Chains A and B, each alone.
Chain A
Amino acid sequence: MKIVCLVKFISDVANFLYDYEKNVLVRENVKLILNPDDACALAFALEVKARRPDTFVEIVTMAPASVLPLVEDLLRRNADRAVIISDRLFSGSDTYVTSKIIARYLENTEYDIILTGTHSLDGDTSHVPSQVAELLKMEQMSNIVRVYDESLQGKTVIVEADTDKTISKYEIALPCILSIGKDSKYKLPFVRYKDLELDVNDRVSVIKNENLSFSEAEVGLQGSLTKVKRTFARKLQSKEKTVVCNDEEGIETVYNFLKSKGFV
């Protein structure tokens, strides 16, 4: 069977610095990482492949070509092929356009199932999996915590999803898009020592707009239906505050405050 893993490389937001003087994000030297939920999705695909060697795992990502070393690292973990969809024309695309671009590539690709992550740490709109599914006319489900991979052999797949209030089990017709959640705890395998320097170059292809033939007006900032007008940091409003220490007087102040408000 063939599994496509749709993944995204993001800026490592946890290590973002914010310049409170200038009110800007420090973007220099921010490295890219594989989005954690997407890593879970790929990890599951590689687990399936480990159990059933006839499984073919293809990684698809839309990204600047500079992600190549990161993609190569994933291939060394035993993925079979990687496709980087990358074109200058695509930069600035919103989720609507991004989904169209990815779906057009997938329309001409064979697969039995598509896996993605649920949330991304950067934009976190979760639009792309649902919108690609809409364009490919298939089901999509988010926040999946378990895939019963033995069920993958048939015409449907059985999954467990965390729906916020419940843990629910569903049967979904194949092909479909399963968006894996972080609580699934699927973990990427390490690169084996002997594969550290493995040449995987012949397993990566770059897809450009020549292959997908969008007009310039359909993609990028021009084709996008939403536009980020401005970004800003939230200005926090200061309160009149009392500053005290951890001494008798301080505790007395806190206690009296709690008492005056009826909390004790």
Chain B
Amino acid sequence: MKKSLIYLDEEDIQSSIDLLEAVRQIYRDECYETYAFCFNQPIEAAECKFNYVFSVRDNMLQGCDIVNLTNCLEELHRTYLFDSILIPASYQGRMLAPRLAMRLGVGLVADVTRIEYNDGELEMVRPAFSGKLFAGVTNKNCSPVMMSVRPNVFTYTSKHLKDTKIIPFHPVSLQPSKIKLLEAKEKERAKDIRESEILVSGGGGAAHHFDWLYQLADELNGMVSASRRVVDSGIAGRSIQVGQSGKTVSPRLYIALGIYGSLQHMEGLKNVESIISVNINRNAPICSLSDIVVEGDSKEFIEKLLTKIRNSKKNKDMEAER
């Protein structure tokens, strides 16, 4: 029986739970048990999904205290000897995973986006060179297998309910904390592009009339996102960037305006239902993934489509009045 531990990041519980799908892909038909590490927070979210939940309640333990979190996970591993440990590649997880891997003396693969098997050997696939290339990385016979997994890539869909056992855990390895949170200001959070069903996205070809995108997005009740090129040139903020160095998005509709579709950009699109791309170059890579390719200027396209949508609405209203 294989044992897999998943670290539940308090800031992003859902992404952490989704790692169960990665575990399923690692063990496939083998028998395995899943464990969750959950500290100072309600365990409801993990219930019925994991076989076991370690519940830690200790006021000494804070989310920013990576050293003590490492101590806890090490302590658990020494007792349970997990075969794999998966940590979401969140802000916290990206500091915790490498520290724990060093503590346990095992290799770590960062930002895994896919699990594969090659000649019977587990291969963790991750993007490299800003997503221009992918690397299949293997672990040299070390246990546990450790990886940090990019959020929003795996989705846990099992309807099978588990009889979750709660294991209260009282760590003995905590040490006086050397880090103190003084103040936390919530960032002004405009709605996240990851939550939008419709994205109107602009690339280099739309950089000079980027404002227009907002009009189309408003009309469609969607949000505006951007490619790295637009963000790097300062026209749009990092928070709306799609791609390997930005966010992974799964909208139902992605309208790509003047976007070339580099690998680093395409890596940010997961399970997008429909893509419409507007480009003066009909051979741009993104066009081959699109349902409809409009060959032409993106500003002209927006103007014409807006007119079309508005006129149709007007006609409908008029008909309704009659």
A interface residue numbers (CB < 8 A to B): 11, 13-14, 16, 18, 25, 94-96, 99, 121-128, 130-131, 133-135, 138-143, 158, 162-173, 176, 183, 224-234, 236-246, 250-255, 257-258, 261, 263-264
Contact = CB atoms under 8 A, between A and B. Distances in A.
B289 interface: yes
Contacts of A250: 294, 296
B178 A172 contact: yes
Main secondary structure of the interface of B (DSSP, over half): mixed
A138 to B, nearest CB: 8
Contacts of A170: 64, 179-182
B187 A122 contact: no
Interface string B261-303: 0010011000001111010001001011111111111001100
Contact of B179 (A14, A172, A229, A245): A172
Given A241-B288, A241-B290, A263-B198, A125 B184 contact: no
Given A131-B98, A257-B276, A261-B253, A227 B129 contact: no
Contacts, number: 246
B292 A225 contact: no
Contacts of A125: 98, 108, 110-111
B290 A239 contact: yes
B308 A25 contact: no
A139 B66 CA distance: 8
A130 B138 contact: no
B133 A231 contact: yes
B191 interface: no
Nearest to A130: B98
A124 B137 contact: no
B30 interface: no
Interface string B288-322: 11111111110011001100110010000000000
B208 interface: no
B135 interface: yes
A230 B133 contact: no
B266 A245 contact: no
B132 A18 contact: yes
Contacts of A142: 91, 94-95
